[in-house]
Amino acid sequence: MFEHLSGSGEAGNDVLDRVWRLNRLLDDLGLYTTEMYQRGRESIIQKQQQELLDLSTPVVKLYEQILALPLIGTLDSERTQVVMENLLDGIIAHEARIAIIDITGVPAVDTLVAQHLMKTIAAARLMGAECILSGIRPQIAQTIVHLGVDLGDIMTKATLADALVMALQRTGHVVVRKQG
């Protein structure tokens, strides 16, 4: 194109003007292509983040009317909202009476996380399910006490196994060790 423009016999200023406009057009096309590529990548990243968020908060049916929500990793406002939504959906879908929220995999609990857990438990109660908070390690217990968070009427257990035994008892099931 440059050879065509330079060999067209036109005056130098006309050629420069056409070259300038062609250069601007090519720059605009390059910029548009880059922006579209970047938008596509951002869209893929957002979808993957949402999928990871959904996968990181599974609701698992343990037994009749008993669900577990094992939490792993850091809890922030966005994730705790997904936790609440998934738990409430699970309560409805499985007609659960007991929901065990297991925080064994949560590295730290601060005031905000504790408040979100309390709200999730309150919402589950409104849906007709009792919650058991399990996986409270000594460090987390100390933190909760130091923060002054009142877990007064919330059932708590140190392990998921203990919480499951309690849930089975609360739903009228008896766990008996088989002899032999």
Task: List CB contacts of 69: < 8 A, sequence separation 6 or more.
Answer: 57, 58, 59, 60, 83, 86, 87, 90, 99, 100, 101, 102
Q: Which of 124, 89, 83 is nearest to 106 (CA)?
A: 83
pLDDT at 24: 92
pLDDT at 169: 93
Q: How many CA atoms lie within 13 A of 178 on its CB side?
A: 1
Q: What is the DSSP letter of 128?
A: T
pLDDT at 46: 84
Distance separating alpha carbons of residues 84 and 113, to the nearest angstrom: 12
Would you tell me the crossing angle of helices 77-94 and 111-126 to the nearest 10 degrees?
Answer: 20
CA angle 172, 178, 180 (to 5 degrees): 175
pLDDT string in tens for the chain (180-residue length): 656 655 655 566 676 787 788 889 999 999 999 999 999 999 888 887 776 666 567 899 999 999 999 998 888 777 888 889 999 999 999 999 999 999 998 888 888 888 888 889 999 999 999 999 999 888 888 888 888 877 778 899 999 999 999 999 999 988 788 887
Distance separating alpha carbons of residues 171 and 176, to the nearest angstrom: 15
CB of 53 closer than 8 Å to CB of 78: yes
What's the pTM?
0.70
pLDDT at 144: 83
